[in-house]
């Protein structure tokens, strides 16, 4: 993830949760130049489950589409460079 620009596509998270998600992803990217998508998804989901109560879901990758159901005010879809991150709370 050499390009570390953040581009938010859609977000209805409260500001504090939005910042936590973005900061977490940036921190992981800074620690390793080659963050694997599945590891980032697993770690981000686990962090949000522990901090903000289950049941968070996360998809990280490139060139994917989605149709999801989520709790009101509990979804963010953003890019770090060319990597898409979709995080939402279901249930």
Residue 66, both tokens: 């989605």
Q: What is the mean pLDDT of the chain?
A: 90
Q: Residue 62's domain is classified under what CATH number?
A: 3.30.740.10
Q: What is the tens place of the pLDDT at every residue in 48-67?
A: 999 999 999 999 999 888 88
Three-state SS at 91: coil
**Residue 1 pLDDT greater than 50, yes or no:** no
Q: Does some domain include residue 12?
A: yes
Q: Does some domain include residue 81?
A: yes
Residue ranges of alpha helices (H) inside the chain are: 15-31, 37-52
Q: Does some domain include residue 25?
A: yes
Give the chain's domain count.
1
Q: Does some domain include residue 1?
A: no
Q: How many residues does the chain have?
A: 91
């Amino acid at each position: 993830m050499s390009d570390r620009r953040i581009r938010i596509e859609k977000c209805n998270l409260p500001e504090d949760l939005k910042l936590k998600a973005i900061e977490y992803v940036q921190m992981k990217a800074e620690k390793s130049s080659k963050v694997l998508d599945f590891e980032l998804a697993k770690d981000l989901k686990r962090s949000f489950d522990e901090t903000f109560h289950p049941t968070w879901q996360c998809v990280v990758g490139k060139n994917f589409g989605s149709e999801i159901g989520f709790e009101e005010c509990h979804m963010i879809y953003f890019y770090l460079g060319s990597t898409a991150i979709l995080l939402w709370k279901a249930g």
